[in-house]
Amino acid sequence: MQEENFGPLDVRKLKEIIQEESARLGLRSYSSEGESAFTLSLALTAAVKKIFFEKSATTFSAEPIIERNLVTQFVQKMRVDAMEKFNSTTVFSALQFALNEQGLERQEYLVTLVVYLEQKFLPEFLRLLKYSYIDSDDEAEVKDGCGTLVNLIAGQYKREMANLGYKDLMMSHFDSFINTAPDGIGIPKGTTEKYEISFEVEGTKRLVVEMLTTAILPAVQDNKKWK
């Protein structure tokens, strides 16, 4: 997805990208939930690219790769084996969006975000974003550092969703883990698929962001969102 000026998402161009990429990903018709979820994955891609560009004045070494994968369910949560992403010790942080505080308390999630990085690379990644140094051998520092990153991405993601006409959603606190989440990760009820976005730094995959959604999000004006 090209986002050269890093301004608000151009809805017309976004629709063109959706129509082109939906065929590649095997999504259903344009009005379906499948493509609605893909639209939100594009907004997430734009959010990550903007953060990286604005804080470090650099770009990723290749266009992000978006894949649609099945969710491994675990008692109505998502089972995670983070070492599948990098084949080395991996830190990851998750947070959820809901309509309001009550929705978060009832675990009525609309969107879940998960951010993954190799534990050994996290300090360098945060340095690129101009954050203070952390010790990659200190588990508490590593978890907090990854949580800082998912909060940063989620905040920009909320702005991108607003640009698309969606209402402001309430964001949960982050939870961070090393390699696996023993009790699984909370996801929107009934979600069976996820969008996985991989980002390269200097030719190597360094960051993976997953998004899970019901694809039925409240819009400020539902009948005008795509007009």
Domain ranges for the chain? 34-214
97 has pLDDT over 70: yes
pLDDT category at 6 given cuts 50, 70, 90 is: very low
Q: Is the CB of residue 48 less than 8 Å from the CB of residue 199?
A: yes
Would you place residue 153 in the very low, low, confident or very high pLDDT band (cuts 50, 70, 90)?
Answer: very high
What is residue 16's predicted lDDT score, i.e. its pLDDT?
Answer: 58
Quote the pLDDT of residue 62. 85
Looking at residue 179, what is its pLDDT? Answer: 95
- Count other C-beta atoms under 10 Å from residue 87's C-beta: 8
Q: What angle do CA 165, 169, 173 make, to 5 degrees?
A: 145
**53-90 tens-digit pLDDT:** 887 766 788 888 999 999 998 888 999 999 899 989 99
How much is the average pLDDT of 162-177? 91
The model's pLDDT over 113-146, given as tens digits with 9 standing for 90+, comes to: 999 999 999 988 888 888 888 888 899 999 999 9
- At residue 130, the pLDDT reads 82
The yes-or-no verdict on residue 151 having pLDDT over 80 is yes
Quickly state the pLDDT bin for 18 (edges 50, 70, 90).
Answer: low
Q: Does domain 34-214 have CATH number 3.40.1550.10?
A: yes
Mean pLDDT of the residues in the chain: 82
pLDDT at residue 183 is higher than 80: yes
Name residues whose C-beta falls within 8 Å of residue 49's C-beta, 6 or more positions apart in sequence. Answer: 1, 3, 6, 59, 60, 64
Q: What is the chain's alpha carbon radius of gyration, rounded to the nearest angstrom?
A: 17
**In the prediction, which pLDDT does 10 show?**
52
Please write the tens of the pLDDT for every residue from 188-208: 998 999 999 999 988 889 999
At residue 60, the pLDDT reads 82
Confidence of residue 24 (pLDDT cuts 50, 70, 90): low
One-letter-per-residue 3-state SS of the chain: CCCCCCCCCCHHHHHHHHHHHHHHHCCCCCCCHHHHHHHHHHHHHHHHHHHHHHHHCCCCCCCCEEEEEECCEECCEECCECHHHHCCCEEEEEEEEECCHHHHHCCCCCEEEEEEEECCCHHHHHHHCCCCCCCCCCHHHHHHHHHHHHHHHHHHHHHHHHHCCECCCEECCCEEEECECCCCEECCCCCCEEEEEEEEECCEEEEEEEEEECCCCCECCHHHCCC
pLDDT of residue 3: 39
Query: Which amino acid makes up residue 162?
Result: A
